A = this chain, B = another copy of it.
C-alpha cells in the first residue's frame, strides 16, 4: 500500500474512527486501526467488538484531491499512536508506504517514521447488517433523541437491558425509552412511516453516546438498518455498527399515571438554577435528596444536612394547580430531566407523595421525563 493523503482531512476521519477503539480491549489487534487502500478509496476501520466504525475516504472531496493511491494494500497500525504521529507532523500531505512485513513508512515535511504494523488478515470481520429493515432519520433529530434519553440509561450491568435505549416500533410512531429504574426518559417520533419488521431493538447507551459525538447537528440523513442482533447507522461516508442488547425490555407504559393531583409550571433555567443551589447541600449530605413543599400557593425547595446546615429556596412559579404536596427527589435526576426538556417553560405533574412525577415541555408532548420520588420516612 502506498498512498498520499491530505493531513487535516485524514485527522478528522481518524478522530471519528478512534471513537470505536477502546484502550482496554481483550483482543490486542483491536488496539489498532485497519487501513485498506483499494484502487479508488481508503477504508479506515476501528472496533472494540461492541461498536465498529468504518469510514470510506474517496480521492476527492468537494472537487479537491484529498487522497492519491499509488498502490493498493492494507495494514493494521496502533490506533492512538498512529493518530498522534499524523497530528504532530508538519506539511499539508502525508505519505504512507507499507511493505510486505507491514512496516509502514510515514513521511511528511522533514520527518520520517517507520512503524511496525500488523497483518490485516488477523483483524476480525465486521458483522453483516442487511438493509432490508431500515428507517431514515435526519441527523439533527437523531442527536436530539439521544440527548433527551441517553442520560437515563442505567450505568449498572445488573440488568443489562437497562444499559440501552429501547427503540419500539409502533404503527405510526417510534418510542425511545431509557430508564435506570429510578427515572425514565421517553421520546416519541410520530408520523414516521414504519418500514421496520421488528417490534423493538435495545441499543447500548454507550454506542449512542459515541454516535452522538460523530454526527452533526444538521439535516443530513442517517439511515438506520436493523438485523437480528446488530444495528447499522449509515451517515455520509461512515458506517457505524453496534451490537443490540439481548433480552426483554420491561413494559414501562404502566408507570405513567393519569390525572395529576398537582401541576406546577416553571421557567426551565430558573428552576434548574434553584435546584442546583439547593442540591449543593443535598450533595454534601450524601444522597442528593431535596424536598419540595407546595402549600398556600407557594413552592419551596429545601435540604438539610445536620452537620453542614440547611437551605431553603422559594421557587418562582409560572402556574400552579391542584393539591398541597410534600415530595422528596434526587436533585441530580431533576437537573438531568430539566436539561433534557428543550423548552423554556416546563410543566411538572405530581400524582401524590409516593408516586412518580413527570416533567415535560408546556408546548410539546414529544418528550416526557419521569422521576420516582425518594421515600424520606
Question: Which positions in A face B, CB cutoff 8 Å?
Answer: 78, 81, 84-85, 88-90, 103, 110-116, 273-274, 276-278, 280-281, 284, 307-316
Which of A81, A84, A110, A316 has the most CB atoms of chain B within a 10 A radius of its CB? A110
Please state if A113 and B273 are interface contacts (CB–CB under 8 Å).
no
User: With A116-B307, A307-B116 given, is the CB distance from A85 to B312 under 8 Å?
Assistant: no
**A88 touches which one: B90, B280, B316 (CB < 8 A)?**
B280
CB contacts (< 8 Å) of A85 on chain B: these are 277, 280
* Inter-chain contacts of A315 with B (CB < 8 A): 110
Q: Which residues of B contact A88 (CB under 8 A)?
A: 273, 276-277, 280
Copies of this chain, count = 2
- Residue among A103, A112, A277 with the most chain B CB within 10 A? A277
Q: Quick one: which of B110, B278, B307, B316 contacts A314, CB cutoff 8 A? A: B110
Report which of B81, B89, B281, B314 forms a contact with A113, defined as CB distance below 8 A: B281
Q: State whether B273 touches A311 (Cβ < 8 A).
A: no
User: Which residue of the partner chain B has the closest CB to A302?
Assistant: B112
What is the minimal beta-carbon distance from A219 to any residue of chain B, in angstroms? 37
A311 near B112 (CB under 8 angstroms)? yes
Q: Give 23 A-B contacts (CB < 8 Å), ordered by A residue.
A: A81-B284, A84-B280, A85-B277, A85-B280, A88-B273, A88-B277, A88-B280, A89-B277, A90-B273, A110-B313, A110-B315, A110-B316, A111-B278, A111-B311, A111-B313, A112-B311, A112-B312, A112-B313, A113-B281, A113-B310, A113-B311, A114-B310, A116-B307
For the complex, give the distance between the alpha carbons of A273 and B111 in Å: 11
Contacts of A312 in B (CB 8 A): 111-112
- A116 and B308 CA atoms in complex are apart in Å by 5
A-B pairs, top 8 by smallest CB distance, nearest first, are A115-B309, A110-B314, A114-B309, A113-B311, A111-B313, A88-B277, A112-B312, A114-B310
Contact partners of A114 in chain B: CB under 8 A: 309-311
